[in-house]
Structure 1
Amino acid sequence: MYIVITKISTQQQACIMKQSSSKHNQTHHSVHKSLSDVHQSIDTTSGRGKGLKKILAFIGPAYLVSVGYMDPGNWATDLQGGAQFGYKLIWILLLSNLIALLLQNMCARLGVVRQQDLAQANRQTYPRSVNFCLYILAELAIAACDLAEVLGMAIGINLLTGLPILWGVLITVLDTFLLFYLQRLGMRKMEQFIIGLIAITGFSFLIVLLQAKPEMGDVVKGFVPTSLNQAELYIAIGIIGATVMPHNLYLHSALVQTRKIKRTEKGIKTALKYNAIDATVALNLAFLVNAAILIMAASVFYTTGNTSIANLEDAHRMLEPLLGSKLAPTLFAIALIAAGQSSTITGTLAGQIVMEGYLNLRLNPLLRRLITRLIAIVPAVSVILIYGESELDKLLIFSQVILSLQLAFAIIPLIYFVSDRYQMGKFAIKKRTELLGWLVAALLIYLNLNMVYGEIKDLFATNGQWVWKIVAVVSTAGYIALLAATFWYPFKERKNKRLVITHQPPTY
């Protein structure tokens, strides 16, 4: 244990060291390990495997994370982006993927080096009031994500079997027991199951894309960044929120800890290397799936003048007459169900990590799953009963915008933790990577605030609705204040060298 102390009196030093040591020990003894039931359950230290065999021992965590990058929420934003604006937003997908690669590698680094997930690290760093707000926002993000998955699965079941969406939403409660069963089989079995669902999703869309026959010249032009109007910006932020999800940052920092590694400098470097390979391959596959959805929508709907295609049901219905194939809509529905089922499992794991990390509270996984699912089902059922099924895709898009608004509250602490040389030692990220991370955070905050400003401006342009106008202004002020607290508190602590900084660096 290393201790860095500011210039204070000897008596103060002794008192502070005693208090800090007591708090440090209490924290470490009381905080559970991330996903304790599968923590270090996969041993990468046994044997002398090298090359591909060594990589395979680490393959898995990023694939569980990647399913969140191609869930039904992504489908809704990708379809609307392609149908309404053609290939124009492909560069947003690429940008989102590059951001995801940067941030997910930071998460893996945090989990491998500090042996803590993001929620646990936040709990040790921020004051209780800020932590409570961060916890509520994280739960809100998970609920928004699960809402998209519930709706996506229900719509997929409806498209494939004709079962009413309301019944499909209620049926999704049953997959609670699937997760419970997979957890009992072990982490490897769960990873294999998820990878199988990813393969179904990817293969289905590959066939649909080949049938769509997109114009490759226009596709290439879509990779060139262009300015966006308010409507395009709203969908673009939805795409970013659907791609770079806050709960995935919590999830990845915990999943890498399912691997038992050698706690030596070489062992940690090896783990970081292979986790980076795992993330690169998995997230690029997710990007290809998302790009396939957007390109399909652009080539099938936008180029034929069907720009009003605004929901998954319309897209499914129009595929057969426009492509002249009955196989395309069937594969579309199957892929939608597979995407929803895979992402709902990982969303629940993220919920478990967030609750245990922030509150140091453990619940039965089955109970936690039921709570998460019920939180998602209530708004879905309410919208169906009040507005009908026609409004579900607007709810899907809105859920992804909510996810994007939560991103900064996960990214800011993450960058701080992995750049903190007191905690990370020689494994802290380099200055240029840190700068790139802050540029990404600044970009996302700017886009979100710009969208919020545009929505509030439109709201104030209407007559009446003073209650909603007040709510909008107060909510925006609270959002900005929490952003400032999330950003400033760690730097204030570091700048003032608050009394004692105690940490336990990785054992070499």
Structure 2
Amino acid sequence: MSKKSLQEVHESINTENPKKWKRILSFFGPAYLVAVGYLDPGNWATDIAGGSKFGYALIWVLLMSNIMAVLLQALSARLGIVRGLDLAQTNREYYPKWMNYILYGFAEIAIAATDLAEVLGMAIGLQLLFGLDLIWGVWFAALDTLLLLVLQRFGIRKMEAFIIALVAIIGGCFLVEMFLAKPNIIEVSKGFKPTLPNTEALYIAIGIIGATVMPHNLYLHSALVQTRKIKRDYESLKRAIKYNFYDSLIALNLAFFVNAAILVLAASTFYSAGLHDIDGLHDAYKMLSNLLGPLAPVLFAIALIASGQSSTVTGTLAGQIVMEGYLHFRMNPALRRLLTRILAIIPAVMVISILGDSSVNEMLIFSQVLLSMQLGFAVIPLIHFVSDKDKMGRFAIKLPLKIISWIVCIIIIILNIKLIYDEEINVYSNKDISLSVKIILGVVSIGILLFLFNIVLYPWIKRSHKN
């Protein structure tokens, strides 16, 4: 089997155009496919929750998450350009088999959590716009499997153009809504001062980080940059890294402004009106109609459908990359999409059937917290690989960037450990939960922590044995 990442479109775009502006533009595109993952419906849930409950206080979390995202996506692109391998392939090459199986499992959990948010967002958008029952909307979301197959026939450039068009629709909708909401700019600026009002704010802040810096995007970006045909000499690789960084910087900053617009919209409408308990996207839709008039909720629903639809394409590609990279197992894209969709649809249908539509927002926020908890398992190997002078040569990251990268990684891990600790304290103090469940939860948590330490230490131990 070929080891090429995304074989159908591998090196399908020429970057050696004699006209400089065309040469630069040929590198632009992969980060926009990555950026839609930062605009999926899960982001909406955490942004609206943060804005309605705490006003502008959590804007700094969005900014911090965006800075983290730019750094990590740039490292991911660097790995793909220099090594010619995606993150999953590099993990398979470097870590022992038993570790790779666990890493693969965590990557699939992250993709399933992303897909859950997409399915729910799409279903909610259809319900808001057309009155379609939520469960039918969830099943209808499975049909977009066909969309990726159509897009893949036209090539990666057409796929990138389609995604950029959807991102433009989302951005345009929120630009109009921001104009209608008229936020207080002075109050908005105060939100850039770091503060966490309470434990609930921490939970939502971690959800925002999980919704912004998404683990499957690190796999995706390292593969998408390989759709460009790049010469293997030093200057060509250096140029590719530089232009891909600009691509990431522009695309992810656009995503930041959209996410900030959602949070600011929630703060300037709901929080300012004393509506601190907006229970998900449904309530947001209804309240926007009351506060801003009939146009605002229609734009909200259209943007939500565009968000779910754009994210679904990149989620499928990430699933293909992870499965092929870790397992060297190739699956028909339609079948892969259907499998991923089923893994998202079954829990969604079960929870909605048992707990009703009101459970949707909790599922969305939980999916983003679940994503954040997977981040360490993607970020730690990535930093190790781009720091490896033996494999990366002159393109290995220098000490200052290495220190910053590890600080970002430590922040993510500490926040997640804090969240898990707080949640487990609540579980252990609940007398209705059986002792066996508490023991299992404790063992699983310790096991995950030990595995995390293994991933951190293994490359250093391996390198010391070589020396």
Of residues 364, 371, 387 in structure 2, which corresponds to 1:403? 371
Aligned length: 466
User: 1:420-471, CA deviations, whole angstroms, 9 ceiling, x for partnerless residues?
Assistant: 0000000111111011010011111100000100001111121131243223
Per-residue deviation, 1:198: 0.3
> Does structure 2 conserve the Cα–Cα contact (< 8 Å) formed by 1:197 and 1:342?
yes
> Does structure 2 conserve the Cα–Cα contact (< 8 Å) formed by 1:79 and 1:310?
no
Per-residue deviation, 1:228: 4.5
Are 2:195 and 1:229 equivalent residues in the alignment?
Answer: no
User: 1:162-204, CA deviations, whole angstroms, 9 ceiling, x for partnerless residues?
Assistant: 0001000000111000101101110011000000000000000
Per-residue deviation, 1:54: 2.1
User: 1:381-404, CA deviations, whole angstroms, 9 ceiling, x for partnerless residues?
Assistant: 011111111101100000000000
User: 1:286-339, CA deviations, whole angstroms, 9 ceiling, x for partnerless residues?
Assistant: 00000000000000000110001020000000101112x211000000000000
User: 1:59-106, CA deviations, whole angstroms, 9 ceiling, x for partnerless residues?
Assistant: 110000000001000000000000001101000000000000000000
Q: Unpaired segments of 5 or more residues in structure 1?
A: 1-29, 499-508
Per-residue deviation, 1:31: 5.4
The residue aligned with 1:191 is 160
Q: How does 1:67-466 map to 2 (within 5 A)?
A: 67-323=36-292, 325-466=293-434
CA distance in 2, matches of 1:113, 1:448: 31
State the TM-score, normalizing by the size of structure 1.
0.91
> Does structure 2 conserve the Cα–Cα contact (< 8 Å) formed by 1:144 and 1:402?
yes
CA distance in 1, matches of 2:273, 2:286: 15
Question: Which amino acid in 2 is paired with 1:185?
Answer: F
Question: Which amino acid in 2 is paired with 1:262?
Answer: K
CA distance in 2, matches of 1:88, 1:496: 48
Change in CA separation of 1:31 and 1:123 when aligned onto 2, cut-off 3 Å: farther
CA distance in 1, matches of 2:440, 2:433: 10
Q: How does 1:466-505 map to 2 (within 5 A)?
A: 466=434, 467-497=436-466
> Does structure 1 conserve the Cα–Cα contact (< 8 Å) formed by 2:122 and 2:141?
yes
> Does structure 2 conserve the Cα–Cα contact (< 8 Å) formed by 1:112 and 1:257?
yes
- Match of 1:417, SS state, is helix
- Match of 2:9, SS state, is coil
Q: Unpaired segments of 5 or more residues in structure 2?
A: none
Question: Which amino acid in 1 is paired with 2:19?
Answer: G
Question: Which amino acid in 2 is paired with 1:210?
Answer: F
CA distance in 1, matches of 2:422, 2:336: 37
Are 2:49 and 1:49 equivalent residues in the alignment?
Answer: no
CA distance in 1, matches of 2:266, 2:437: 35
- Match of 2:466, SS state, is coil
Per-residue deviation, 1:138: 0.2
CA distance in 1, matches of 2:25, 2:179: 31
Question: Which amino acid in 1 is paired with 2:429?
Answer: A
Of all paired residues, the percent bearing the same amino acid is 59
CA distance in 2, matches of 1:186, 1:417: 30
State the TM-score, normalizing by the size of structure 2.
0.99
CA distance in 2, matches of 1:461, 1:53: 62
CA distance in 1, matches of 2:419, 2:221: 28
CA distance in 2, matches of 1:384, 1:408: 30
Please say which structure displays the higher CA radius of gyration. Answer: 1
